[in-house]
Amino acid sequence: MARRIQPALSEIGDAARALRQGKLVAFPTETVYGLGGDATSDRAVAAIFAAKGRPSFNPLIVHVANIASAAQYAELSPKAQTVARAFWPGPLTLVLPRRRDCKISLLATAGLDSVAIRVPAHKIAQTLLMMAGLPLAAPSANPSGRLSPTSADHVMADLGDKVEFVIDGGACSVGVESTVLSLLEDRPRILRPGAVTAEALSEVLKEPVQIEQGVEDAAAPRSPGRLLSHYAPTLPVRLDAAAAEPGEALLGFGPAAPKDALNLSPTGDLQEAAANLFTMLRQLDDPKHLAIAVMPVPETGLGVAINDRLHRAAASR
């Protein structure tokens, strides 16, 4: 069983040492908990794929402490530098060309000539990256295809027997995974919506930023976060529900929801809703119900990311 540790410096030091020995450590970020391993070690990266049961063609996000470390692994075009300066540290992942001399394991990038990099804003993640002195490959710390973890309890329940340490940083403030922005082509494309919105990116880049629509080819996904059935609870999910049908559990949103229902945000606040999303879906994902019915969430700001995850959760599998 994993050692669950508090974020004291000496404890984070133990976790950093374990990472340098090729072991796995789950740690909090502002988005969701990550399942971290040394991104330069094929062995550590293989252990991440094994722990998640993740198809190995799915590339992982590499976490680094700052822009300078990112520049060791990826080519940062002027455009990339502009967004990095505006949004890092923060809930944004950039897909960039891999540098020729990039030391990241080819397994982590699934043999692609690009690499997904992010500088997390969470203090514990930052401290861990500094102390380990390594780039950390870290997908969300959940079994492949299931809901992402937003608390140490979630990680212990899902992967407690597969990691050395779980660093307990409490609940994640953002609650949905980072925005993934590809800067590989002329036009910037959002492969996965998140807290950094298309509007915010296009304002900084001074050009339109498209959200990639449609579903990836499951046999060769460029961004598996875009596979239709992803982030799924065990129960079926019904969207745009006005009320619960018999046997359904209701996940409410806003002041119109019944008082006895779990509510993503009684005041209709999208930030609060994102932070509650995965925890509440987990709470309702109980075999005593037949399905989870979810009330509509507006498609603005963070609502785009929330609806993206809800649509995937509802996709038939």
Interface residue list for Mg ion (CB under 5 A): 140
Listing DSSP states for 210-279 in one string gives EEPPS---TTS-S-GGGSSS-SB-SS-EE-S-SSPPTTEEEEE-STTS-TTSEES-TT--HHHHHHHHHH
Cβ nearer to ligand TXA, comparing 111 with 208: 111
Nearer to ligand TXA, 34 or 233 (CB): 34
Q: Using CA atoms, how far apart are residues 202 and 57, in angstroms rounded to an integer?
A: 30
Q: How far is the CB of 263 from Mg ion (least distance, A)?
A: 25
Q: Which residues contact 153 (CB under 8 A, 6 or more apart)?
A: none
Of 13, 21, 25, whose CA–CA distance to 162 is shortest?
25
191 binding partner (options Mg ion, ligand TXA, none; Cβ < 5 to 8 Å by kind): ligand TXA
Give residue 268's region: left, alpha or beta (phi > 0; psi -120 to 50). left
User: By beta-carbon distance, which residue lies closest to ligand TXA?
Assistant: 225
CB of 115 to ligand TXA, least distance (A): 6
CB of 189 to ligand TXA, least distance (A): 10
Name the H helices within 65-177.
67-73, 78-87, 123-132, 152-159
Provide the CB-side half-sphere exposure for 232 (13 A, CA): 20
Query: What phi and psi, each to the nearest 5 degrees, are found at residue 143?
Result: -60, 145
Q: Amino acid identity, residue 305?
A: A
| C-beta neighbour count of 304 within 10 angstroms | 20
Q: Residue 149 Cβ, how far from ligand TXA at the closest point, in Å?
A: 9
Q: Please report how close the Cβ of residue 76 comes to ligand TXA at its closest, in angstroms.
A: 15
Of the pair 221, 252, the CB lying nearest Mg ion is at 221
Residues lying near ligand TXA in the complex (CB under 6 A) are found at 29, 31-32, 34, 58-61, 93, 95, 109, 112, 114-116, 118, 120, 138-140, 177-178, 180, 191-192, 222-225
Contact 181, 205 (CB under 8 A): no
Give whichever of 211 and 262 is closer to ligand TXA, judged by the CB atom: 211
Tally of CA atoms within 13 A in the half-sphere of 183 that contains its CB = 26
| Number of residue whose CB is nearest Mg ion | 140
- Other Cβ atoms less than 10 A from the Cβ of 143: the count is 14
Least distance (Å) from ligand TXA to the CB of residue 289?
27
Q: Considering beta carbons, is residue 111 or 247 the nearer one to ligand TXA?
A: 111
Q: How far is the CB of 129 from ligand TXA (least distance, A)?
A: 12
Binding partner at 28 among Mg ion, ligand TXA, none, C-beta below 5 to 8 Å by kind: none
Taking the least distance from each CB to Mg ion, the nearer of 32 and 129 is: 32
| Structure token pair of residue 292 | 């989870």
Residue (24 or 249) nearer to ligand TXA, CB: 24
